[in-house]
């Protein structure tokens, strides 16, 4: 099996799109909301485990590209957005509910906002993937 140049380019560009989308939505737009609800639960002073976050985004990016390439065969950008949004939304809904299970003090209020923000970020990344996979 041979990796095509357009797939590699799509992977790199989509990785940046997912990362930036989530950083903008979670790191800036929702930061005040999350800080207010997660005070004392998360560690804002410490350095986040960047290696784990990088590995997570590398794997999620590969999964998103696989889904777009195989579930949007007609390369429809709307379908690519919906596939990405569904993938990102379900993923972050699962993470939020797992946090509630593991940390009973985890506020339910952050789950819908994180889920919606991730659905948007992954949906847009799906459109980016579609664009670069069809070039």
- pLDDT number for residue 108: 92
What is the pLDDT, as a whole number, of residue 40?
76
pTM of the prediction?
0.85
Do 14 and 125 meet the contact criterion of CB atoms below 8 Å apart?
Answer: yes
State how far the Cα of 21 lies from the Cα of 26, in Å rounded to an integer. 8
Which residues lie closer than 8 Å to 128 by C-beta, 6 or more apart? 10, 13, 14, 17
Q: Is residue 128 predicted with pLDDT exceeding 80?
A: yes
Taking only the tens place, the pLDDT of each residue in 71-123 is: 876 778 899 999 999 999 999 999 999 989 988 888 999 999 999 999 999 99
SS3 of residue 51 by DSSP = helix
pLDDT of residue 123: 95
Q: Interhelix angle for 31-38 vs 110-133, to 10°? A: 140
For residues 35 and 40, what is the distance between their CA atoms, to the nearest angstrom? 9
Question: 19-70: per-residue pLDDT in tens?
Answer: 888 889 888 888 888 888 887 777 656 556 778 878 888 999 999 988 888 8
Give the pLDDT confidence score for residue 45 in this predicted structure.
60
Q: Which of 4, 8, 120, 10 is nearest to 72 (CA)?
A: 10
Residue 81 near residue 124 (C-beta atoms within 8 A): yes
């Amino acid at each position: 099996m041979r990796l095509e140049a357009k797939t590699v380019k799509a992977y790199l560009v989509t990785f940046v799109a997912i990362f930036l989308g989530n950083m903008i939505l979670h790191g800036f737009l929702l930061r005040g909301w999350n800080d207010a609800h997660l005070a004392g639960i998360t560690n804002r002073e410490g350095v986040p485990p960047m290696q784990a976050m990088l590995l997570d985004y590398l794997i999620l990016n590969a999964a998103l590209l696989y889904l777009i390439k195989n579930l949007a065969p007609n390369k429809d950008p709307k379908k690519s957005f919906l596939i990405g949004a569904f993938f990102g939304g379900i993923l972050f809904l699962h993470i939020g509910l797992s946090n509630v299970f593991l940390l009973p003090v985890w506020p339910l209020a952050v789950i819908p906002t994180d889920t919606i923000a991730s659905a948007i970020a992954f949906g847009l990344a799906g459109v980016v993937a579609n664009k670069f996979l069809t070039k």
